[in-house]
A and B are shown apart, each in its own frame.
Chain A
């Protein structure tokens, strides 16, 4: 399952506290804590494997605490593949896609949320239909299009098709519809603000929390994207991190210490970003489209 196709909690939950209704059940911390342990365990074990030697992996019983061989493993990763190059590629793609998606999606969402224009319902329905179509339907022709454009093996083959998406427009539309009161827009119109000035001066400042959420979400999805980069990035010097990692898995598949060090290096930047913004992320996904 790719994160890209799974929208976050846009259930539009309007958080309403219901204190004193459900008694806070303390025993619930036991199953919740166990769940947390199970979910966190792979991160811990990845660190264990990445910091020990491959021989430790094959030992019985296995090493259960982090070791001291992280740097050896990391340098093996760096000699096996162009890690920092891949990371730079991934960052360029994810950052460009995020900026473009935020701009295009929020602007389209503003038009869909607050304006009537001929064909609006049809266009919106068409967009939602596209959202439902499986990606494989367009994979082969997209690859052919890319080779006609001469974009095979280039980063714009990853950036341009992802520069606007139906999910983001749908989600931002919900957000703008409820976050921007019509009265403000009416007042702006009276003051002589047209569509684009309303977007820049009124809408953008108000929807910053929504943009933050969509931005993190888009960045994560682009960072972790795998299938399309695997197909279109035929040049071994121009890989993204996920493809590079899968190649490390293929070529060094038996050296678990090195492969897990690579996996660790690929997820740490993202986990750090997530933890930095997690408050925003969690709060916004729970609040959904309603502020």
Chain B
């Protein structure tokens, strides 16, 4: 992002803040700044810092919200490490994330490059690309539930119409994940394309002029100039997509919320749509296993952290 001209440091800050004559000395003279930042930090203390610490404490205890709290030590983490349902949820989440994020970001890049190459209708395309991301996930999940209906959904009617067999989309291990990935791709592909497009606008035209003089075609220019210069932006989208993708919750929750055979938050047939956060929600708020829920939350944090770090290293290494 530095190449795009963002002020990342604090270099614009005046070296010496002007002090009026007669203003209080010492730390006291900074009171307006502390007042200005205090609302966030008060909320942060109450709804951020305290809960995170409390979660850590909870993870070592058993509590259903009513009975007395009992100490569990590492037992819940031990249980988590061996929990087959959690493993299922981890695999589901990662498969859904890979199925959605990788094709989505590649398509976003292609769309952004196309958008950057046209002169007309730019605003129209940008509005359309943005539109899905301002649409509610609940409404979109319901829509996908309707068109991927196992019997009469639009997708199956089209498949049968062109002579292909219908697919029980919302029943199979893979198909459930594909539907979820399509849903997430539909909602965020344009959004990421706009981010890439914004990054491309920041690349100075002279670089392309020089490349053209050296005989580089448009594809070569894309690989040798656009992609490398977009690296900070790509890194940003990959990290954000990882953090949010690994926390997928609403899509499977709404899609399979009516599947009450096991539990409304079971993640659908075969629990194929049970993501880590959905499992967390089920344990904490359906079964009131607050302690185990907290342990799952820390498990999610660990997994998200590892993935974000690996992404970071991968994208940063390709720099060389």
A interface residues, Cβ below 8 angstroms from B: 1-3, 5-19, 21-26, 28-29, 31-32, 35-36, 38-40, 42-43, 45-46, 49, 57-58, 60-62, 104-105, 107-108, 110-118, 120-121, 123, 126-127, 130, 132-145, 160-161, 163-166, 169, 174, 177-178, 182, 185-186, 189-190, 192, 194-196, 199, 220, 223-224, 226-227, 231, 241-242, 245-246, 249-250, 253, 256, 259-260, 263-264, 266-267, 270-271, 274-275, 278-279, 281-282, 285-290
Contacts and interface: CB of A to CB of B under 8 A. Distances in A.
Contact of A36 (B1, B116, B128, B281): B128
B142 A26 contact: no
Contacts of B48: 130, 133, 138
B121 A29 contact: yes
B1 to A, nearest CB: 6
Nearest to A38: B186
B51 A145 contact: yes
A15 B136 contact: no
Nearest to B233: A11
Contacts of B121: 29, 32
SS of B interface (majority): helix
A195 B29 CA distance: 11
Contacts of B114: 25, 28, 31-32
A32 B5 contact: no
B67 interface: no
| Interface bin, chain B | 35 or more
Interface string B189-232: 11100110111111111101100100000100000000000001
Interface string B130-160: 1111111111101101110000101001000
A245 B250 contact: no
Contacts of A136: 247, 277, 280, 296-297, 300
A32 B125 contact: yes
B71 interface: no
B266 interface: no
A32 B197 CA distance: 13
B85 interface: no
B14 interface: yes
- A-B pairs, top 6 by smallest CB distance, nearest first, are A18-B205, A12-B6, A138-B51, A195-B32, A141-B51, A141-B54
Nearest to B284: A140
B138 A245 contact: yes
A289 B128 contact: no
A91 B77 CA distance: 41
Contacts of A186: 14, 18
Nearest to A164: B40
Given A9-B194, A182-B14, A281 B130 contact: yes
Interface of B: 1, 4-7, 10, 12-14, 17-18, 20, 27, 30, 32-34, 36-37, 39-41, 43-44, 46-52, 54-55, 58, 65, 110-111, 114-121, 123-140, 142-143, 145-147, 152, 154, 157, 161, 184, 186-191, 194-195, 197-206, 208-209, 212, 218, 232-233, 236, 240-241, 243-245, 247-250, 253-254, 257-258, 264, 277, 280-281, 284-285, 290, 293-294, 296-298, 300-301, 304, 308
Given A245-B139, A285-B194, A6 B244 contact: yes
Contact of A178 (B12, B128, B218, B301): B12
B39 A164 contact: yes
A263 to B, nearest CB: 4
B4 A11 contact: yes
Contacts of A140: 51, 54-55, 58, 284, 290, 293-294, 297
Contacts, number: 378
Contacts of B39: 104, 107-108, 163-164
A126 B49 CA distance: 10
Contacts of A199: 36
Contacts of A250: 257-258, 264
A49 B126 CA distance: 27
A271 B130 CA distance: 10
Given A21-B212, A116-B14, A274-B130, 12 more contacts: A13-B200, A31-B111, A39-B131, A108-B40, A115-B33, A118-B30, A139-B284, A140-B51, A141-B55, A182-B14, A250-B264, A286-B126
Contact of B30 (A16, A117, A196): A117
A74 B115 CA distance: 38
Given A136-B297, A174-B6, A115 B126 contact: no
B40 A24 contact: no
B152 A57 contact: yes
Contacts of B293: 140
Contacts of A139: 51, 280, 284, 297
B38 to A, nearest CB: 8
A196 B35 CA distance: 10
Nearest to A185: B14
25 contacts: A13-B202, A18-B205, A25-B117, A29-B120, A32-B111, A35-B129, A39-B128, A39-B129, A39-B132, A58-B152, A114-B13, A115-B13, A133-B52, A136-B296, A138-B55, A139-B297, A141-B52, A142-B47, A163-B43, A174-B7, A182-B14, A249-B254, A250-B264, A282-B127, A289-B7
